[in-house]
Structure 1
Amino acid sequence: MGILRAAWVPDDDVERDWQVAAERAVEWVEHEATEQRATAVLVLNVFGAEQTVPALRGFAQRHRVATPRSGRQRAGSGIGPVLAYVPDAKTLEFATGLARNSSLAAVEGANLFPLRGWAAQMNAVDLTRPDDEAVELDVRLTTAMDRLKFYGNNGYGPPFDRQQAAHILDDLRAAGLLDRDVLLSAMAARGISADGLKRLGQLIDAAGGR
């Protein structure tokens, strides 16, 4: 099984304080932890980031804290919900692995790794607009992503895989659907590794993605 439920706080309002964004994610993950009778995990890019945000500092005192560098041992061996705070691609990949068979909430840092495509692919609840339906991706894009996933199983390392991916990206550009941020985060939701996303990003840039 994959992620059972997902939520996010988009970084789309310059007036929204990071404390407010964190509070919304914390409340959702705390509810998930109570429902699942599990200990939650706060996943950060680096240790110490939680100390600058009171909501995260309190959450860290009640649950576990881990980073990609610390590995799974800091998160414990049980299954529980995960809060990924302004994750980059590598951190999101790590958080997703920890949240398997449980729940995942992410607070977006748009300058670090935009999450619009991820949220659409995961059918994530927008915690700033919880009553709104999740935005769906264009069916032409999702069909293309099926093919990109097939050629990305080896991280777009082999030349043939890169060549085939480039053809797909050219078709998306011609259709006006080659949005770099949306595509990369949606492919992250489909299990492409952080290294694979880096190579895919290079292919998107070469194809003239916006």
Structure 2
Amino acid sequence: MGILRAAWVPDDDPERDWEVAAELAVDWAEREAAEQSATAVLVLNAFGAEQTVPALRRFAQRHLVATPRSGRQRAGSGAGPVLAYVPDAKTLNFATGLARNSSLAAVEGANLFPLRGWAAQVNAVDLTRPEDAVDVLDARLTSALDRLKFYGNNGYGPPFDRQQATRILGDLRAADLLDRDVVLGAMAAQGVSPNGLKRLGQLIDAAGDR
């Protein structure tokens, strides 16, 4: 099984303080941990980031903290809800693995890795607008993403896979459905590796993103 439930805090309001964004994610993750009677994990790009945000510092005192560098050992065996704070692609991939069969909340740092496509792919609740319906992807885009995933199993390394991905991206561009951030985020949700996402981003740039 994959992630059971997901939520996110979009980085879409320059007036929103990072403490507010963190509190929204912390509250959601705490509820998930209580419901699952499990210890949560705070996932960061690097240790120390939690010390600058009071809500995260308190969360870290009650739960576990891990980074991609520390690996799964740091998270221990009490796998439960995961809170990923402004993850880049590598950190999001790590957090997704830890959250398997549980829940994942992510606070977006758009300059590091935009999460719009990820959120739509995993039906994540927008914690700034929890009563709103979750975003959904265009059916044509969803079909194309499934095909992109098929050719991304080897990280878009083999020439044939890159050729097929380029063809699919060209079709998306012609249909005015090629949004770099959405495609990369959705592919991250589908398990494409960080290196694969990097190569796919290069292919999107070559295809001419909008």
TM-score w.r.t. the length of structure 1 is: 0.99
1-structure distance, mates of 2:130, 2:181: 23
Percent identical among aligned pairs is: 84
Alignment of 1:18-57 (within 5 A): 18-57=18-57
TM-score w.r.t. the length of structure 2 is: 0.99
Structure 1 unaligned regions, length at least 5: none
List per-residue Cα deviations over 1:32-75 (Å, max 9, x = no partner): 00000000000000000000000000000000000000000000
Q: Match of 2:189, as an amino acid? A: A
List per-residue Cα deviations over 1:55-112 (Å, max 9, x = no partner): 0000000000000000000001232000000000000000000000000000000111
2-structure distance, mates of 1:151, 1:53: 40
Does 2:77 align with 1:77? yes
Corresponding residue for residue 125 of structure 1: 125
Corresponding residue for residue 146 of structure 2: 146
Does 2:76 align with 1:67? no
- Contact 2:87 2:106 (8 Å CA) reproduced: yes
1-structure distance, mates of 2:118, 2:151: 19
Does 2:208 align with 1:208? yes
Corresponding residue for residue 112 of structure 2: 112
SS in 1 for 2:58: helix
Deviation at 1:14, TM superposition (A): 0.6
- Contact 2:87 2:113 (8 Å CA) reproduced: yes
SS in 2 for 1:137: coil
1-structure distance, mates of 2:107, 2:79: 21
SS in 1 for 2:101: coil
Corresponding residue for residue 193 of structure 1: 193
Q: Match of 2:159, as an amino acid? A: P
1-structure distance, mates of 2:77, 2:157: 32
- Contact 2:24 2:127 (8 Å CA) reproduced: yes
2-structure distance, mates of 1:12, 1:120: 15
List per-residue Cα deviations over 1:123-153 (Å, max 9, x = no partner): 0000000000011111110000010000000
Q: Match of 2:76, as an amino acid? A: G
Does 2:2 align with 1:2? yes
Structure 2 unaligned regions, length at least 5: none
SS in 2 for 1:169: helix
1-structure distance, mates of 2:78, 2:2: 15
- CA root-mean-square deviation: 0.5
Q: Match of 1:36, as an amino acid? A: Q
SS in 1 for 2:154: coil
Q: Match of 1:108, as an amino acid? A: E
1-structure distance, mates of 2:120, 2:203: 22
Corresponding residue for residue 170 of structure 2: 170
2-structure distance, mates of 1:77, 1:207: 43
- Contact 2:44 2:87 (8 Å CA) reproduced: yes
Runs of 4+ in 1 over 6 A off after TM superposition: none
2-structure distance, mates of 1:209, 1:13: 24
Deviation at 1:20, TM superposition (A): 0.2
1-structure distance, mates of 2:149, 2:124: 20
2-structure distance, mates of 1:52, 1:15: 18
